[in-house]
């Protein structure tokens, strides 16, 4: 996998209208890890993509009535199988962080890349998801060296408001795999 003109080669592309162009002064120095499942706790359906494309049918599930009009997106989604879908070019701002702050800098969408894992705070993520996440983060760190070790959860930039990727995310193992992958190169 490689990044070419802001896009992951080999990933499925679904172009979200929910993004903003980055300013030339917007230096990418952060990766934010999220989780999502629609309906909550259910996996594999089309609803995450529908939400990010602004096409979620409020009648498809009772819980969608509350969220179908949201204008949100992420740069990428990593499904339970490890399949990657990219919605927004890394060169642009996805609308994933909301009200947020990292190291004293507000509006994290301006300087971050948002990656969603198909999952919940409580359920373990899959080996395939961790492998893909490691691959993508390593590529991003090569493309945007300011990222360095600035890889955090949504909970870290919006504490008290967000909890994802949750206690089920194994930060120790993930950081170890990043280090091992870096040493291989």
Q: What is the CATH number of the domain that holds 157?
A: 3.40.80.10
Which residues form the domain of 23? 3-184
* Predicted pLDDT at 181: 64
pLDDT tens sequence for the chain (185 residues): 899 999 999 999 999 999 999 998 889 999 999 999 999 999 999 999 999 999 999 999 999 999 999 999 999 999 999 999 999 999 999 999 999 999 999 999 999 999 999 999 999 999 999 999 999 999 999 999 999 999 999 999 999 999 999 999 999 999 999 988 666 65
Q: For residue 57, give both structure tokens.
A: 């049918």
DSSP 51: H
Task: Please state the pTM of the whole predicted model.
Answer: 0.96
d(Cα 149, Cα 5) in Å, to the nearest integer?
A: 23
CA distance linking residue 57 with residue 54, whole number of Å: 9
For position 25, what pLDDT does the model report? Answer: 87
Q: What total number of domains does the chain contain?
A: 1
Cβ(33)–Cβ(23) under 8 Å?
no
Q: How far is CA 139 from CA 4, 76, 145, 146, 185, in A?
A: 11, 13, 10, 13, 11
The residues carrying an active-site annotation are 116
Q: What residue has token string 């409580």?
A: 122
Q: pLDDT at position 19, please?
A: 98
């Amino acid at each position: 996998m490689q990044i070419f003109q802001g896009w992951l080669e080999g990933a499925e592309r679904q172009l979200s209208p929910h993004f903003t162009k980055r300013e030339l002064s917007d230096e990418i120095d952060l990766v934010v890890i999220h989780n999502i499942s629609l309906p909550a706790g259910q996996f594999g359906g089309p609803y995450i993509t529908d939400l990010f494309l602004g096409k979620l049918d409020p009648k498809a599930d009772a819980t969608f009535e509350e969220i179908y009009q949201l204008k949100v997106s992420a740069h990428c989604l990593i499904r339970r199988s490890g399949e990657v879908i990219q919605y927004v070019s890394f060169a642009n701002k996805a609308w994933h962080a909301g009200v947020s702050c990292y190291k004293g800098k507000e509006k994290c969408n301006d300087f971050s890349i948002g990656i969603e894992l198909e999952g919940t705070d409580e359920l373990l993520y899959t080996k395939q998801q961790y492998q893909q996440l490691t691959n993508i983060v390593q590529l991003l760190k090569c493309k945007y060296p300011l990222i360095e070790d600035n890889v955090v959860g949504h909970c870290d930039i919006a504490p008290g408001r967000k909890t994802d990727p949750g206690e089920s995310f194994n930060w120790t193992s993930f950081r170890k795999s990043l280090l091992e992958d870096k040493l291989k190169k």
